[in-house]
Amino acid sequence: MDNNLSLRMKSEVSGSGNPLVLVPGGLTGWVSWEPHAKILSEKHTVIRVQLLNVQLGLENLALPPDYSVKTESEALAATLDSSGYTMPLDMVGWSYGAFTALQYALDHPERIRTLTLIEPPAMWVLRSNGKFDEQTQKEADFFLTLHGDITEDMLAEFLQHAGFIRPGQSARKFPQWNKWTPFRKSLRNSPTVVNYTDDI
């Protein structure tokens, strides 16, 4: 894979005003920010980015062999650079996007004006604080199985683990099921959440 392609995220810019970067979750990507971007773009220049794991999953391309959240952080920096957004920015990240936004802030603190993290999967924090209990270990063990070809059954189980649906409910009966299934390859990044370590 061309290295420049692997280190650039797709992006979409709308509105005008102070720049606001929206980094999406790792399942459906920037689609999750559409309703928010529409409202926020009334007062901001909204920059929605597509995480590499989502983009490559939709294109049926493999993740780079050394893929990690650092790869996403570097791609975010390259994307913002190529769009001329090198000043300190307001950034909001959700789920895996919050994980990516945090890594970006650690890598480029001078380029962050404000940072809002919504539900970051910060398993390493639980581990370092001695809060990695039996339930968290079960979640971690499941996330480690999400690599290679992600089946619909794996997607359904992920949706339960991630709290999208309650135990005992059928993911396939949800109206969103047909919207979720094309994105299932995006879940190949899940082991990076479990394997990440940091001393923050």
Residue 99 near residue 122, CB atoms below 8 Å = yes
> Residue 186's closest CA among 71, 59, 68, 53?
53
| pLDDT of the residue at 26 | 87
> Residue 193's closest CA among 69, 92, 73?
69
Q: Is 117 helix (H, G, I), strand (E, B) or coil?
A: strand
pTM of the model: 0.89
Name the one residue in this structure whose structure tokens are 């039996």: 134
pLDDT band at 1 (very low <50, low <70, confident <90, very high): very low
3-120 domain in CATH 3.40.50.1820?
yes
Is pLDDT above 50 for 2? no
Is pLDDT above 50 for 5? no
Q: Which residues in the chain belong to E strands, given as ranges?
A: 11-14, 18-23, 44-49, 89-94, 112-118
How many other CB atoms are found less than 10 A from the CB of residue 30? 22
| pLDDT of the residue at 48 | 97
Structure tokens at 178: 């047909």
| pLDDT of the residue at 199 | 62
Mean pLDDT to the nearest integer, 79-101: 96
User: Where are the chain's structural domains?
Assistant: 3-120, 124-195
Distance, in Å, from the CA atom of 71 to the CA atom of 66, rounded to the nearest integer, reads 8
Q: Is 183 helix (H, G, I), strand (E, B) or coil?
A: helix
Burial class (CB in 10 A: 0-12, 13-18, 19+), 7: middle
> Residue 91's closest CA among 21, 173, 164?
21
Burial class (CB in 10 A: 0-12, 13-18, 19+), 172: middle
Q: What is the pLDDT of residues 131-188, one digit of tens each?
A: 888 988 898 999 999 988 999 999 999 998 888 888 889 999 989 899 999 999 999 8
Is pLDDT above 60 for 3? no
